[in-house]
């Protein structure tokens, strides 16, 4: 799909995801999705001397695009990309803990993330298309780097 800016690898994986959904081999479920979850939307409690995520000394802001019928994984993937970079070493442990907490596979995590990207693409409204394509490529690349995309 060169005219859209989406690479053939992303297109092939998306088709694989659609097939898995169609044949029922993936159990879809919804979660609350922030929609713009990244490190810049986490505000730490400045009344604490050493605020920590693990003790709840933070607030998540900018819930404008949130939805209750969201897809698992995309908020965590975007947080990891913003915190660790596309090749960040610490992200793998975070993703493993996240998958274990939801009892989902590598493939399910990837499918849910790309489904969220597909939904966003259908409703760009004020979101610039070139930034959307960049975001899709970033998420897809991140999932591949962290071995969340299963072999074909």
Higher pLDDT, 10 or 147: 10
CB within 8 Å of 75: residues ≥ 6 apart: 33, 34, 35, 37
Instruction: Give one word for 73, left, alpha or beta, with left for phi > 0 and alpha for psi -120 to 50.
Output: left
Give the chain's mean pLDDT: 86
List, for residues 58-110, the tens digit of each pLDDT value. Answer: 889 999 989 999 999 999 999 999 988 877 677 888 889 999 999 999 999 99
- Lowest mean pLDDT: which of 6-20, 41-55, 62-76, 120-134? 41-55
Which pLDDT belongs to residue 94?
86
Query: What pLDDT score was predicted for residue 1?
Result: 40
Gap between the Cα atoms of 130 and 77, Å rounded: 20
Higher per-residue confidence, 135 vs 1: 135
Find out whether 74 and 33 touch, Cβ atoms under 8 Å.
yes
Indicate whether 131 pLDDT > 50: yes
Domain regions of the chain by residue span: 2-145
Angle at 28 between CA 127 and CA 78, to 5 degrees: 40
């Amino acid at each position: 799909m060169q005219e859209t800016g989406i690479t053939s690898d992303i297109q092939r994986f998306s088709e694989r995801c659609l097939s898995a959904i169609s044949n029922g081999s993936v159990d879809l479920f919804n979660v609350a999705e922030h929609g713009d979850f990244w490190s810049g939307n986490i505000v730490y409690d400045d009344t604490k001397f050493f605020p920590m995520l693990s003790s709840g000394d933070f607030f998540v802001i900018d819930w404008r695009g949130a939805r209750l019928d969201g897809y698992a994984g995309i908020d965590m993937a975007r947080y990891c990309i913003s915190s660790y970079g596309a090749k960040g070493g610490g992200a793998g442990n975070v993703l493993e803990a996240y998958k274990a907490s939801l009892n989902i596979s590598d493939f399910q995590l990837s499918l849910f993330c790309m489904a969220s990207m597909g939904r966003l693409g259908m409703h760009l409204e004020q979101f610039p298309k070139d930034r959307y394509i960049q975001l899709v490529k970033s998420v897809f690349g991140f999932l591949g780097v962290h071995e969340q995309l299963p072999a074909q």
